Structure 1
Amino acid sequence: MIRNRVFRMTSALAAVSSLVLLLYVPAPAGAASAPSSASNAPAAQSAAIANEITLEHSGFRENGTLYISLRDLSSYLDLQLLWNPDKESLEVTGLYQAVSLKSGQAEAYTASGGVITLGGETLVRGGVTYVSDKLFSKAFGIPVSWRGGSTFSIPYASRYVLTRADRQLFWLNREYAVLYSGRSGMVPRYAGAVQAHDLDWVSMSARRINDGSYAVDIHNVSGEPHLSNTRWRLLITEGSVIRQAVTHYWNPRMYGLKEDVFAFQGNLVMMGGTTLRLVNPDGHIYKTYNLADITGIDDAYAVEAVDTDFLLVRTFQKGTLILIDRRTGHSVTLYRELLSAEDQAWLEAYPDTEIDYPGDGLSYAGREGDALSFEWTSFVKEQKVHFTYNLPPFIF
């Protein structure tokens, strides 16, 4: 009843190829890092030769002014856009300069109180905001040449990964792994260096913890042919990186490995290899778990659930879900408790070195009282099954 592994291998390789394409973030690294603050934008220096780009919307001239879609071009220039409802203005924030714009006005206002004359009003047409090309040359030091239609030329190559949480903005330099952060409409400042190298196919996200603290997650795929996955979680408090955790997964097989849960009872979940820490927003370590010591398995882990009395963690190589009693430190490998003897034998006979090795397939669905719910699809018959694991008053 075991599946044909040639078919499984072919399907898995196709899936991995598709995943790789989805993960790819095409932006070459540059050579310079931004200072913590600047009152004037420096001349464009990211690319010695102008890069020709095609935007979604065409440019046009009106009353002698060249107009360009602000959102389209900003993504190529490492600029972040955010509407300020209190001031009814659009904020354009870069590493060296931040300005605000209003529809119908021919000026941009800098974070330091300066005024930049654009030579043409900011226009909104068909839901698209168009600005004068002078915004980019005067405010950000990047001249833009129009080649006709939607084709433009810029002496700049994107070198940052961008994200935001509410009004807090973040930039990660691809080459030097340096993080910058600041409020929208303000020039950002240096937040810290990430313990990273070989940033290649990289993505980043951020979440707000409280008024002064944020968590930033970074995921990188590197190597040739991109077999290494690395995850970072950074704790940023009052504008500085005060803690960071990193886990390396030396294999392209990431199927079924979920992102680490975010937090529990106000403590940030920070997974570093085999060490799990629950960290207060101020950086104080509330609790530390050495998962290799607890489980006896020296592997990279992902954290799927944290509750008052238990943890659910998954090993990377074996792909098995493990329940840990937070009070006693004992652990249970759940598939041995929930799956039939036949299914356990099927899984244990399947080499975990194969790219399509499925892991145990158990998915945590929540708890009701002391009953933990799990969803599972059988290996051979592909039937969906619901399991319940009951926690006694004192586990084990």
Structure 2
Amino acid sequence: MDDRVQQSQLSFPPDMVIPPQRYSGEANHAEEAARVFRRCWMFVGFTDDLRNDNDFITADIAGTSVLVQNFDGDLRAYHNVCTHRYSLIHLRPCGNGKPVCPYHGWVFNRDGVPVGIPGNREHFGLDDAAKKRLALRRFEVAVRGRFVFVRLEPAGPGLDEQLGAYGAVLDHLSELFTDRIDEGVLPWSANWKAALESALEVYHVDATHPETFKGYVKKVWICSYEGEHSRGVSQLSDGSARWWDGVSQKMGLPRSDRLESYDHYLIFPNLAIGVSHGALMSVQTYDPVGPDRCELHYRLFLGETSKPQTKGGAARKAVEANVAGFNRTILGEDQRVAEATHKGLKQVQVPAVLGSCEERIAAFHRAWLARMAAE
């Protein structure tokens, strides 16, 4: 009896938890795209890939393909769909090249207008006004540090307002973690919310990561909040801290003087950033590609070494391989339980029971429910 009383006091009420039916279904997916992903500033990449004229990156925001292009130093974001016969324009995640449709060779300028149309005079007869009516749909783009964000719908707060105090965190991380050592995209057969929730608590660590993450951190999760966003801090295990101290010294890696534990940030809705001992940054997005599928895009960064002679050496390569392999193993373990949870969510009607150890998930649910209820 006492245990049940304690549970009722510590767990979150069902009306604060996303109903299981909202983790699947085309109608839910479409509503979520309209109310959450189109209205939020969405992380799409780094300025590292946009340094030069005609550099570009592409991203998919809940079914909308977006290109961000450097036009002589000016970053602009457009719908990555040709207005002629609707082929995607840029087919790679990043690269360098003008916005040229691969299907019929239509060329678009910095204003998104198709200024180069093969056979225009013979076949289309489009004057300047008609070409302007065929301009690509433009989106808002903003940068904080090296993090690039796009918003599909223009109404609402600016990026700095949406980030709040976490904007300064992105500035700090951008200055420190400049050396990308690994990147990948993993398809998961799970709704993006079920996938993301595995990153918002350490309660699952003993069962899901008994040979990996369990030994990496101490199972203490100190949480704090900034608007829709959240932070969880856990102390690294003594062995993990010693390993990072040794690697940082031997490799000449800089460390953050502000983030000395395992610090994990969620930038709502789907950007997760983890920092290990101030020496390693993991950046992950959980991108919906359908109601029952998502893609996890991960990137790993170290700081710029003060011992450049170590870059490319055997010891440095071993460290990078160790870190990248460890990260991929943990993601694989999370994928297994996220996909199992998604299958279970489709078979029940009652909201999940969230305990006090899952308060960041509850905060994420509150933010999601508020967005979905907004007009």
**Superposition TM-score, scaled by structure 2 size:** 0.27
The structure whose residues are more often strand, as a share, is 1
**Superposition TM-score, scaled by structure 1 size:** 0.26
- Structure ID, larger Rg: 1
The structure whose residues are more often helix, as a share, is 2
Q: Whose RCO is larger (CA < 8 A, sep 6+)? A: 2
